[in-house]
Structures are given as C-alpha cells and as structure tokens.
Structure 1
Amino acid sequence: MESELQPVPVSPQKRDPAWKHCQMFKDGDRLKLICIYCGKMFSGGGIHRIKEHLAGQKGNAATCPRVQKDVQLLMRESLVGGKVKRKKHKTAVASTNLNSIPNEIDTIFSQSEEKAGFQLIAAPGTIADYFSLLPSKEEEMPDIDSDNRKREQKVEMTSSDRRKRQEGNSSPPPTYPNAGPVDNLNLGSTKGEDAVQKAIGQFLYDIGLSLGAVNSIYFQPMIDAFSFERSSFKTPSYHDVRGWILKKSVEEVKSMVDQYKETWGRTGCSLLVDDWTTGTGRVLINFLAYCPKGMIFLKYVDASEIVRSTDALYGLLKEVVEEVGVQNVLQVITDSAEHYVVAGKRLTETFPTMYWTPCSARCIDLMLEDIGKFDWISEILENAKTVTRFVYNHALVLNMTRRYTNGKDLVQPALSSSATNFATLRSMVDLKNNLQAMVTSQEWMDCHYSKKPDGIAMLDVICSESFWSSCSTIVRITDPLLRVLRMVGSEKRPAMGYIYASLYRVKEAIKKELVKKKYYLAYWNVIDHRWERQLARPLHAAGFYLNPKFLYNIEGDVHNEIMSGMLDCIERLVPEIEIQDKITKELNLYKNAVGDFGRKMATRARHTLPADKWWSTYGGGCPNLTRLAIRILCQTCSAKVFKRNQISLKQIHHYTTNRLELQRLSDLVFVEYNLRLRQMQLQKDKESEVMDPISIDVCDIVEDWVAEKHPVVGDVGSPEWTALVQPDANTALPLSPKDEAESLVEGFGDDEIYDGVNDEEDTESQDHEEA
C-alpha cells in the first residue's frame, strides 16, 4: 500500500526561485518534489531537476506542459545565472585584489536572482531612501487625472502652512528613541519598486488594516504625491492626522456634501436608514441621503437603548427628516423589521407628503433565501459545495482548477450569502466543460489528491449529468432575481423606474421555465409573499408608469394596480389641489404620446435615454407632471450601501464619554464614510473588483463554500498556501450578458402575473391538468 504523502515546509534558507513553483512532500524516509502546474512528481535530482522541468530544457527532465511563459523564461534565466555565478566565483578566487569592483557578470546574476525575489541587498537606512528608488519627476512619472491634480493642489502644504501648523502645536512631533532604524526591519530584499511595495505591505500588516485598502482610489494619488516630494517629504505626526489634516478633510467633505444638497430641490432625495450590530452588541444606525448626483452620509447614532422602542425610533426618524427638510424627502427606506414598520407608518402620518418603504435589496435577498430552502435545491447546493470545499482547501488542486477555467473562480462572492449561493451555482454551470475536462485529464489521474475520499466525491459530482441538469434549472429560476438584486444595489442608475418591471420579468421567466402551474406556483408564492407584504408600494408602480420604455410597451389597458399607485403618488407627493388637477390632465397627454411625447426623436429616445433625462428633454409641454416624474424616477430602492467590514469599527465607533473626542470621532466617521461613497460614485461605470474567494474580507458570505466541514486540528500554519498561483485581478463572471434594464422592454400583458392565482383557481387548475 502506498504510504501517505506528508507536506514538508520549504525552509527560508532555500532561495532558489524554483522553490516557489513546487511542493515538497515526505514519502516515508524520502523527500519528493511535485510541480504545482502539472503535478509531476520527482523522486530525485533535487531542485535543479525541477528547474530544468519548468525551463523546458531537454535532458534530465520532461518539459512541463502547463508552466506559464513568464515562469519558464525566469527558470531559463536562473539556469544561465547559475552557470555565470560559478564562473564568477572561480574568477574571484584567482583575482582577490579585484573583488571590490562590480563587473558585468555581477549585474547579469543579480538580474536573474532579482526577478525571483531572493537577492539580499542592504536595506535603506531611512524611509526617504525608499522614495529615492522611485522614478524622478521628469522620468516615467504616470499621468494624473484632473481630479487628482486638484486634490493634490488642495492638500499641498506650503512653507507658510507648515509654519502655521507648527505654531498651532505647542510641542514638536513625538520621537521614539527606542525604535530601531528602518533597516532593522529587513525591508530591502529586492531593489527599486519591489522594495517600496514590500514596505507598503509591511505597513499594512503592522497596523492591521484590511489588505483591500490598496484598492482605494486614493491609494495611487498618495503614492504619486510621495514620489513627487522625494526625500524632502516629512511624514505627518499622530497629532497631524487627527488635528489639522482631519479638520481640512472635514471642510472639504462638507463642501462636497453641500453641492449634493443643492440638487435636492429639483430631484428630491431618499433618506436611507441602515442599522447594524457591532461585535459588542451595540446597535448603530447610519443615516444617508440618496439623489442622482450621489449618496452622502449624514450621521450615525448609537441606538442600542432605543432601537426596539417604536416611540423612540419614530422620534429619531422624525428628527432626521426635519434636519434634511420635509420638502426634500420623498421616501424613508429602512429594514422591514416590525419596529421599523410601525415607526415608518407613524412617520407618514406625521408627514403626509412622503412615503416609508422597506429596503428592496433585503426583500429580494429574502426571496432568494426562501427559494434556497426548497429540499431539492438545498440538496444540489450541498453537492456543489463538496466540489468547492475540496478545491479551495488544497493549493495544488486550486492551481489546477484555475488553469483549466482560464483564471475564473468557481466561487463568486455576491451581496449576501443567499446571492452567493446562486451566483456560484451559475458560475459552476458556465464552467461545467472546464471542470469535466480537468477531472478526466491524465494530470488529475496522476495527482495524489484524486485518490482521496473527498477527491473521489468531487469526481462523482462533476461527472453526474443529473446534477448539472438540476443546476441549470435552478440557475434559470434564480438568475432573474440575481439580476434584480444587482440592479437595485447598483450606482449606475436610480432603480425606482425599474423595480416593478423587474419583478414582473422574474415571474415571467419562472413561468416560462417550469411551464406547468403546479410547478411554477410554488416559486411565485415565495415572490408574492415578500412583494405583497413589503414591496408593493405606490412609488414602485408610479416608477413603472412614468418610465416611457415600459408604459408604451404595455399590451392593452394599464393594469389597475399600476394606475392606482400613480394616482396615490400624485395625492401624497403633491399637496396643492390645483397642481394635482393639472397633473391629471397632463397624464392623458403622456399616455397617448401627444405633442413632444410623440416625436420620432422621443420615440427613439425611450430606449436610449435614462427615464429622468427623457422627461427633462421631452416633457416641457407638461411641466407639472415632468417635475413629479423626475422626482420619482431619480430615487433609489435600497438602503444597503457597502460591506460593513470596510469601516473600521473598533477605532471609529469606540465608545468614549469625552465630549471633545466623541465629536472628533463623529467627524472622522463623516469623512471616512463620505470618501467611501465618493469612491463608489467614481467607480460606478466599472465592474467592482472581486475579492479572492478565500480572502478573510469575504469570509462572512462565502464561508460555507470554501471552509472544510471538519478541518484538521493543528493544520493551521501550514505553508501550503505559499504554493498558490496569484489569481487574476478580476475573476468575476457577469451575472447577465447584457444590461439588465435592456432585457425588461418587451410587453407586459400577462394578467396572471399581476393578479396571481388564488387557492380555488389553483386547485381547479391542478385537477384539470391531472385529469
């Protein structure tokens, strides 16, 4: 019986670049090396044999068929460098009086070793020395866009600024005499750019900051500013960053927020209420305002003592509405918990010109969660997880899988755990052929992991056609809901004009997939249950009616539910009776496409312009209706903003009874939150960067897909992760091959979707089908 291979960590003293591209195992008393690309096992020849294998050098080892081109070139250079090094050593022994003069041979060898990341060089003595390794201002300096230049001009400190700052601080920046010099940190393992990047990495590790900080749009401008300043730059002190720098940042962010507020008179705004519980059990409520120009953070409140009291919660909501301006707020969006429902209804009684609506993203997520509880669906999800858990817990298997899927990851982190379940299932269906090609390859058969019980279980799942057939059905049922979830949480366009049509299309897609009423009705009931209890709001119906893309594609008369919602919005959002009557008359002009609404340009623009822009362009003949339409169509449907782990809870929301420090921390939250929101706004036209599925940053939503059910005790700290090939920068598979809004255009003539099916009709229908 073949003995079990035990992984052996590679000693730090082993500096040959080939060690990064193989794994070492102990087989009894012998050591064996395995190529991480093709899985070939070497029982002799040492690391040199592996290097020849990767370099494709014929002779002692077969060429690796799957090695990456850049790795192959690196191995070839290393082999050449080794020969040069030996020759250089002989020359040095013969000519000891010349050993202080660098020569071309030194340069050739250092380049080959430098690329592998193992050459030891003297570390710079100061931080300024690191920046001296960057390109000069005149050489190879990347262009900076106008926004960055403006930002740099604002934060640039003149000599007079420095004098004022020093005069404001009675004491100089603190020094730390016991701190060791920077070169003691052994940062300089490579030259130039690598040294700077390593210094940044160790700074992030030291302060415990999320490694996702490097994705910030403010990160590169900071590095650019450093490189411009070069050695003359002096790092800010602790008192600087919490003093004058924070003060100036607060002023700049408040100026930005004021620009957003200036647009509320025309477009109105949605007040978003997002509460969450910290690790210590405190309940914090964040208040934000949304308008087409962007989303801004207003403030946060520690509501630990009042959140369950509907009276206190109502009072808090009322206070914030008054601060924003009752005339500006069209709706207050909160969670759908019972205490919010009660407080929200009281709020609309107090302010009859606005709505309370539950968060659409949360409601749709609950629909997905309910669908995932169906027995046959939960069973398929569990089978799929046996594949991903095995893949994402073994470096060699994960590297192999990513090669066969061309760098695409199986696990796709989404907005929630439920969304992640179905997004990952869709990803696996798209990569079905790639996975089957992998597990039927000779490489997999030769891999020792294929003989393990979990490896055999994975093979059974991937080769099961019934599994894939069920997966495809689930994907066709849930993919429309996933697209709606992404749309309501998107910054690309206000979602109010699309949510109603989207839910119609979801039910239509399920009916088309399952055909028979007795099959699709179960899923309709899940959707209707959440829709009727939470999402059936007049604003959503009015958003559908006022979107020309949808209204002019209705087959037959407008459904009563839609028309009733439109009229309700007129009565509630427009308190003046004279204006209400004018809007009612203008509705007929819009419905019948009279005047500018019927122009050929307007007809073409229904499908190209955003709905609010369409009204701005062609609604001049109906000014009262146009104003109302723009205010409704410019609103969002969701109160969910971004992952909470992006806000540093421990420090920013730390409890303190000191009035001054509490005010400072509130300002710090204000700045940080709004800078994050600004970053989202600037990146809204880009696909969001997907985190590595095994990253701790997404563990809360992917844990069930990547964590072993029964992890081996004492296995933590194994060096196997170092064999992982770095994943692509963005491995996401798109949720839809086209823009979600473009797939909503066709007719809306299915009355069954509007009305649903009552129990008596359902019973008669099933009896008829069975007969």
Structure 2
Amino acid sequence: MASEAEIILPIGTQKHDPAWKHCLMIRSGGRTKLKCMYCMKLFLGGGIHRIKEHLARHKGNASCCPRVPPEVQVAMQQSLDGAGVRKKKKHKLSEEVKKVSLSSNQGEGGPVDAGLQMMPLPEMLHDIPPLQVEVREEGMPKDRGRKKRARYTSPPPPPSPAPLQPLPTALQVGVPIKSYSGAAVDKDHVAMAIGRFLYEAGVPLDAVNSVYFQPMLDAIAAAGPGLEMFSYHDFRGWILKRLTEEVNYKLLHLKGMWGRTGCSILADEWTTDTGKTLINFLVYCPEATMFLKSVDASYIVTSADTLYELLKHVVEEVGATNVVQVITNNTENHAVAGKRLTETFPTLFWTPCASQCIDAMLEDIGKLEAISEIIENAKTVSGFIYNHVIVLNMMRKYTNGKDLIIHSDTRAAMNFVTLKNMTCLKEDLRAMVSSEEWMECPYSNKPGGIAMADLIGSLPFWSSCAAIVRITEPLVRVLKLVESNKRPAMGYIYVAMHQAKQAIKKELVKKSDYIPYWDIIDWRWDRQLPRPLHAAGFFLNPQFFYTIQGEVSNEVSSGMLDCIERLVPETKVQDKIQKELSLYKSAAGDFGRKMAVRARHTSLPAEWWSTYGGGCPNLMRLAVHILSQTCSTRGCERIHIPFEHIHKQKMNYLEHQRLCDLIFVRYNLRLQQRQLLKTKRFDPISIDNIDTVDDWVVEKCELLSGADEDPNWMALDPPLASRVISENSDDIEVEAFIAGLDNEVIQGAGQDAEDDDEIKEEDESHDRTSFT
C-alpha cells in the first residue's frame, strides 16, 4: 500500500506504450516514480522500459514480477521483441543514410542510387509516421512544399456538406468524424455524433452535466485522428482497475486526515423502488466525503440488535479512535442501537440526522390546512404554465429566462423554495397575464388559463405566499447549512435552530399563532437523546462564545463537559483541558491577539483554533475534532447507480466483485463532482427530476385545456444556458444567514432565553393554521 505522502498522478493520453496500462505513476518525496500494479514494486528509475522488462519477467535490468498474469507477461514480451526489431531496422536505415552521405560527391548512377535501390521503399518508411495533407480550398494559393509531401499520402477526402444539409454518408452510418486537415469539424456534426451515441446506448442525458464530460472531449480532441477505440473489456478491465486503485489511494490519503480532524460515519438509509431498505455507509471529514459500501438492511433495521451489530462492524472497519460520531436515522430502533454503540465504544457519539429532522419539520408545516391550500394554488399556476408551450415560452420571456421551480433534494423543501421563487417573480407574472399577448392567447379563455390568471392577480394569494415564505425560510436556510459542503455545520447548528424559532416568533408575534410551529420544531428536534456535540460546537465557536455576556446556559456547559469526558478518555488530558478552558474563556494569550479577534468572524472555527490555539494544544485538538464534523447523513444523488444489483443473491462471484468496485468508483466520483460542480443545468419538466417536481409540473385534471390544441415540445424554447443553478448560491445564502445572526439571537441561544416554552396558555386548542 502507498504511504500517506504518495499521490497518484494521471497518465497522459500521449503515453501509448502498452506497459502504461499495468503500472501507476505516483509522486513521493518530490520525485515521480512508477509502481507495478500487480506486486506494487516501486521503480525509482529506468522509465517504462524497465517496467516492461519487469512484467515480461525479463531477467537483467529489472526484477521479475511474481504476480503478473500470464497473458500480460506474453504481451510485454511481444512488445519487447517488436521494439528490438524496430531498433534493428532503424539502425539499418541509419547505416544506409550514412553510406549515402559518404557517397554524396559521386556522379549520377553511382553508388548513391545503388544504395537506395538496395532498400525497398515500404521498409524504408516502416518507422516513419504517415504524413497528413492540408486540404486546400479553391482560390487559395498553391503551396509547393505541401504539394510535394502529398506524393506519400492518399488523396484527401471530399469536404463535408454545410450544416443542416443532408448528412454525409459517414455520418449517416455512424462512422466517427475525422479531421484529416487539422481544421475544426463543424460543431453541429460533433453534436449529432455525440447525440447518436447517447441515444443509442441509453446513456442518461444528465451525464453531460458531469464535470468530467468536457475533460473527456478535450482528451479525445487532443489525441487527434486515428485514436484507437477502447474496447468493452478495456472498460470492464484495466480502466476500471486503475480507477479503483486511484479512488483507493484517495481513501488512503483521507485516512490520515481522519486521525487529525476526526471523522463522522454517515449511514444514509433509503428505500428502493422495489421496497428494499439499503444503507450507504460514507465517512465524512472536512476535506472530502468518501463512500465505503452499500448494505441491504431490509431485515436489519427492523431489529435494534442486528442494527447495532452492523454499525459496530463499520466503526471497527473505519477505526474507533478516528470516529467522533455515527449519524443515522432517528427512529426508535436507531436510537436504541446508537445507545448500545456508545456503550461499546465510549469515545464516540450517536447523533440523529439533522437534515432529516428539519425536512420532517417542513413536511409537517406543509400539511397545515391553510399552508397546504396556498401550496396547492401555487401548483395550479405552475402546472398550467409548464404544460402549454405557448404559455411557458411567454412566462420565460417575461421572467427573462427564469423558471418558477427551483431544484431541491426533497419534496418538502421544494414546496417552500419554489414558493419563495414564485413570490420573487410575482410582478413578472402579473405583467404577463395583464399583457395584450396573453389576452390574444387561445388559453386565456380556457378554464385552466382563467384559474391561473385569477390566482396571479389575487393580492390575498400573494400576501399569503409571502407570509409562508417568511415563516419557513429560516428552516430552509438551516437545512442548507447542515448540507453545506463549505462549512462543517457542527459549530452553527445549535444557534441556527434557535434563530429559526425566534424568526417565526418575530413574524407571527401572537403566541397562539407561533406556538403551533414551535411545537412542530420541538417535537421533531427534542424527542431524541440530547445532542452534546451541538452544544459543544456552539461553545467552541469563537464567533458565538465571545458574544455572550455572562455565564452560558447549563445545557451548553453540560454538553461541553460531556464531550470532554467522552472524546478524551485519559483523565490527565481531561484535567489539562479544564485548565486550558480558562485561557479560552478569558481570551488570554494568542486568543486575545487583534488578528484572532478579527478572525472570529471571518475564519472557519476549526481553522481559527488551528491558527491561534497553539497555547492550549489539548483543547485545540478537541475543538478541531468537534468543529470539523457534519450534522447530516445525506450523500449525493443515487440515480443511475445500480445499488440493488450488488444485493442480488444469484450472481457470479467474480462479477459481483467487479460490480462492487464499479459502484465504489462511480459513487465516489459523484461525491468528488459535488465538490467541483459550480453550476448545474436544471429543467423542471425533465424526467430526471420527476421524483421531486412531478406535482409542480402536472396540470390538474379538472383544468385540462386540451393537449390536441397545443404545439408539440419541439416548439418549446429551452431554458437559457445562462439560467443554471449555481451550487455556490446555497453557500452564499448560508453565509448571509450566518452573517445575519445578531448578538441578541446569539445571547439568547447561549443563555437559553426561550422562556416561552415554560409558559403554556390555558387554552390548549392552538390555531395551527394561522400564519398571517
């Protein structure tokens, strides 16, 4: 296995020697080295030729590989033999050229001609690459040099027809496009060629959103004409094997990070279309999240004992000393299994998934009668617009290409982020339905068009939408915070939940109005075990701690003490941390530097401790471990990944291993893509998003306007390329949320000022539908 300092390097497309398929190129200690893929022997010099001799078991310059497959050994030996033959031919050609140069002063018909006649032309050109010909357009001046070189090549192909004209024969039969002249091939022809491949092979069309799509095109273009096509067995064989090694090296590198920052085991549980319950196990640290494996837990989650055994096995696999917490679902069986897990491993916590809790809160709020009615009205508007080409084109015209529906990972969140977006586009929609263009539209007199226009023109509808957005937006922002890739959420979740409740109270004012929402939040959030990590994250976040005037609440203090006792088992180190806490509380030493004071609001909490906590090394290590953790189990999209296939019992053992490696590579590449992806193309009516948007883009049956009167989808204007979802927009919103936390909110969170929870009105029949 590679050491922590070894970094695997990509092998460029110019590496054509067959031996490159059977070795790894790594950088270690500032030097680039090669490593055999079979026996993992490291070569400090000698280049690829030495690797080839090693694989061919050619004694002499290199040791023989003890694990090379027989077919690879034969192939490497044949390559060495072929290289020897070519070397002899080049040497022979060099000797002939030398003879020619020595006889250059002799007359015609002398030894020069005789020397040339001794070597047949095909053999003479055996090692010379074929020359290419520039295609000269009519009217261009002749190039004598190019004309002379053309004697050694075949005639150039005829020029391709103009775009949108009848396709050339090569394109009609699917022959790859080659640019013999080196000039750019028409972009439409390239698009058609890619389209044929995607459609015929059944590749999901959202594959073009991958961050690896453009690099693939660039690599193919850089290789130029004549690139040898890789086979089906190449992608099932050495390519998959090399990528598996690459991902394993990434995992090996991250294991070093787990010891320094701690890590969280994420049990991402979900139900498939066939009813199976699967758990994808991932490991989170601030640098990256890695997928480990998928488990069929259909018969495991029903028993707390079997669930405990599964979690215990994963903790042992990762290393109990590295694990700060295990995050799972928040069902009763998970809570019991989590409690047993903390008894077996007294140095870690079990924590319920925060994103699932918050999503359930939004779902409960969406079921309240008055709110549900407004959401259904909003779906009436969007459903009509997205089912009629003329109206959809008109809407995108008036909104400057913006769509009504915003992408979200869950249905509950989708309801409220889309409602907010529609509220922002209210004036554009009202301008559309009051325009002459709408009056002349054939749908303005249809039942669906009339219902849509009436809702868009209704002031009570929009005022209700705005009120719902103000109530739910704090929770939506907390949801984005706990799923943020930029900031580990552990240092913020405690104050964020307090801020969400205070925002609802400030909006509704009257206790009988806001208590129903508080009841929903408290029931979902507080019915599980206490969350000492959340409280300790608040205590150790300098932005919040130094804002509190006076003593912190008992809940925060106890949470901090719980973390010290559990995460630091050595009593001597615990005592040292208690002494170092006094320096942190008084902002003594480096904590009080002007730079440190300014950085409280600009640096990530864990980075702040790493920079200014050197005077308190034990407390610093604990703080970094706590503040580096997430609060959510959610991984990335699982679509088009055949998780269920690896849990089929009837499968060839070798093929099962291969499929496991394929899913291991695919899901981890997708996790990496989530880190790299800056923008994401989103079309609300695409089938790729049907799981979350279907009820927003389907027209209600009673309002159907007659599809036979509508133009088909080919008349639809596509979403503008510039109107893509920015993955940074969520991070920007999270940053705005954190920056908007005022001192009063932080003070209230730190001193537990929610006295409203202790005072209940005599009338227990709260109006759970009031939101205005």
Displacement after TM superposition at 1:583 (Å): 1.1
Residue 763 (1) aligns with residue 762 (2): yes
**AA aligned opposite 1:695:** S
User: Out of 714, 738, 742, which is 2:739 matched to?
Assistant: 742
Name the residue aligned to 2:12.
153
Name the residue aligned to 2:139.
none
Matches within 5 A, 1:535-574: 536-574=530-568
Residue 421 (1) aligns with residue 415 (2): yes
Change beyond 3 A, Cα 1:191–1:266? closer
User: Out of 277, 280, 291, which is 2:285 matched to?
Assistant: 291
Displacement after TM superposition at 1:304 (Å): 2.8
RMSD value, Cα? 3.0
**Is the 8 Å Cα contact of residues 446 and 705 (structure 2) preserved in structure 1?**
no
Change beyond 3 A, Cα 1:307–1:650? closer
Matches within 5 A, 1:46-65: none
Name the residue aligned to 1:694.
685
SS at match of 2:701: coil
SS at match of 1:763: coil
Distance (Å, rounded) in 2 between the aligned partners of 1:658 and 1:539 = 45
Displacement after TM superposition at 1:167 (Å): 4.3
Residue 704 (1) aligns with residue 695 (2): yes
Cα deviation, 1:45-92, whole Å, max 9, x if unaligned, reads xxxxxxxxxxxxxxxxxxxxxxxxxxxxxxxxxxxxxxxxxxxxxxxx
**Is the 8 Å Cα contact of residues 176 and 193 (structure 2) preserved in structure 1?**
yes
**Is the 8 Å Cα contact of residues 413 and 690 (structure 1) preserved in structure 2?**
no
SS at match of 1:418: helix
User: Out of 432, 437, 441, which is 1:443 matched to?
Assistant: 437
Name the residue aligned to 1:234.
228
SS at match of 2:224: helix
Matches within 5 A, 1:601-750: 601-649=595-643, 656-683=650-677, 686=678, 688-710=679-701, 720-729=712-721, 730-732=723-725, 739-747=736-744, 748-750=746-748
**AA aligned opposite 2:172:** D
The gaps in structure 1 that reach 5 residues or longer are 1-148, 172-179
Distance (Å, rounded) in 2 between the aligned partners of 1:201 and 1:305 = 43
Displacement after TM superposition at 1:571 (Å): 0.9
Distance (Å, rounded) in 1 between the aligned partners of 2:530 and 2:391 = 47
SS at match of 1:558: coil
Distance (Å, rounded) in 2 between the aligned partners of 1:749 and 1:535 = 24
Displacement after TM superposition at 1:756 (Å): 5.2
Distance (Å, rounded) in 2 between the aligned partners of 1:679 and 1:404 = 34
Displacement after TM superposition at 1:762 (Å): 2.8
Displacement after TM superposition at 1:555 (Å): 4.1
Distance (Å, rounded) in 2 between the aligned partners of 1:740 and 1:473 = 19
In terms of mean alpha carbon deviation, does 392-401 or 160-169 score higher? Answer: 160-169
Cα deviation, 1:224-244, whole Å, max 9, x if unaligned, reads 111122222122111111111
Name the residue aligned to 1:134.
none
**AA aligned opposite 2:762:** T
**Is the 8 Å Cα contact of residues 616 and 630 (structure 1) preserved in structure 2?**
yes
TM-score w.r.t. the length of structure 2 is: 0.74
Matches within 5 A, 1:99-248: 151-153=10-12, 156-161=15-20, 167-168=71-72, 183-185=172-174, 192-248=186-242
TM-score w.r.t. the length of structure 1 is: 0.74
SS at match of 2:229: coil
**AA aligned opposite 1:696:** I
Displacement after TM superposition at 1:305 (Å): 3.2
Displacement after TM superposition at 1:168 (Å): 4.0
Change beyond 3 A, Cα 1:592–1:347? same
**AA aligned opposite 1:707:** V
Displacement after TM superposition at 1:652 (Å): 6.2
Name the residue aligned to 1:324.
318
Cα deviation, 1:660-707, whole Å, max 9, x if unaligned, reads 111111111111111111111223xx3x41511111111111111101
Change beyond 3 A, Cα 1:248–1:228? same
Name the residue aligned to 1:312.
306
Displacement after TM superposition at 1:419 (Å): 0.3
Change beyond 3 A, Cα 1:191–1:582? closer
SS at match of 1:566: helix
In terms of mean alpha carbon deviation, does 312-321 or 555-564 score higher? Answer: 555-564
**Is the 8 Å Cα contact of residues 597 and 618 (structure 1) preserved in structure 2?**
yes
User: Out of 379, 389, 394, which is 2:388 matched to?
Assistant: 394
Displacement after TM superposition at 1:536 (Å): 4.4
Change beyond 3 A, Cα 1:527–1:237? same
Displacement after TM superposition at 1:392 (Å): 0.5
Displacement after TM superposition at 1:535 (Å): 7.7
Distance (Å, rounded) in 2 between the aligned partners of 1:517 and 1:753 = 18
Residue 382 (1) aligns with residue 380 (2): no
**Is the 8 Å Cα contact of residues 335 and 528 (structure 2) preserved in structure 1?**
no
- Larger Rg over CA atoms: 2
SS at match of 2:292: strand
SS at match of 2:714: helix
Name the residue aligned to 2:27.
none
Aligned residues: 608
SS at match of 1:496: helix
**AA aligned opposite 1:720:** N
Distance (Å, rounded) in 1 between the aligned partners of 2:472 and 2:197 = 43
Residue 579 (1) aligns with residue 573 (2): yes
**Is the 8 Å Cα contact of residues 447 and 705 (structure 2) preserved in structure 1?**
no
Matches within 5 A, 1:359-370: 359-370=353-364
User: Out of 463, 470, 474, which is 1:480 matched to?
Assistant: 474
Cα deviation, 1:249-288, whole Å, max 9, x if unaligned, reads 1111101111111111110100001122222333222111
Displacement after TM superposition at 1:553 (Å): 1.5
Name the residue aligned to 1:593.
587
**Is the 8 Å Cα contact of residues 399 and 724 (structure 1) preserved in structure 2?**
yes
Cα deviation, 1:293-346, whole Å, max 9, x if unaligned, reads 110111112223323222221111101100110000010011112222221111
SS at match of 1:393: coil
Residue 505 (1) aligns with residue 499 (2): yes
**Is the 8 Å Cα contact of residues 497 and 540 (structure 1) preserved in structure 2?**
yes
**Is the 8 Å Cα contact of residues 408 and 732 (structure 1) preserved in structure 2?**
no
Change beyond 3 A, Cα 1:504–1:449? same
**Is the 8 Å Cα contact of residues 409 and 732 (structure 1) preserved in structure 2?**
no
SS at match of 1:356: strand
Name the residue aligned to 1:405.
399
Change beyond 3 A, Cα 1:170–1:476? farther
Change beyond 3 A, Cα 1:166–1:381? farther
